[in-house]
Amino acid sequence: MLANLGLSSLKTALGISAPLTGGLSVMPYLSVAVTQGAIAGLTTQIIGKSTQTYLANGGSWGDADPKVVVKNIIESLDRDSILHRLRQELTAKLQPQ
């Protein structure tokens, strides 16, 4: 959440400064937006897998503590490929058509 807040603040500052810089701050703005989207996508996937595990155990965490279950899910994710795929998708959507 702290990373999201920091990135949102940076994105706002870059967006406000765009007219003052003649549009030079637009590229860093897009970079921050893509990174923020990738973080949101990864977080959504972790929450989805956590929910799937919880529901698969009949509405309980089973024998494990919820923190342990979420930690195991995070460790099992291939973060690099997920972030790479999300970054590619988000970058493609930001390209002018």
CA contacts within 13 A on the Cβ side of 67:
0
Entry pTM: 0.59
pLDDT tens per residue, range 37-83: 888 888 888 889 899 989 998 888 888 888 888 888 888 877 777 77
Residue 14's Cβ-count burial label (10 Å; 0-12, 13-18, 19+) is: buried
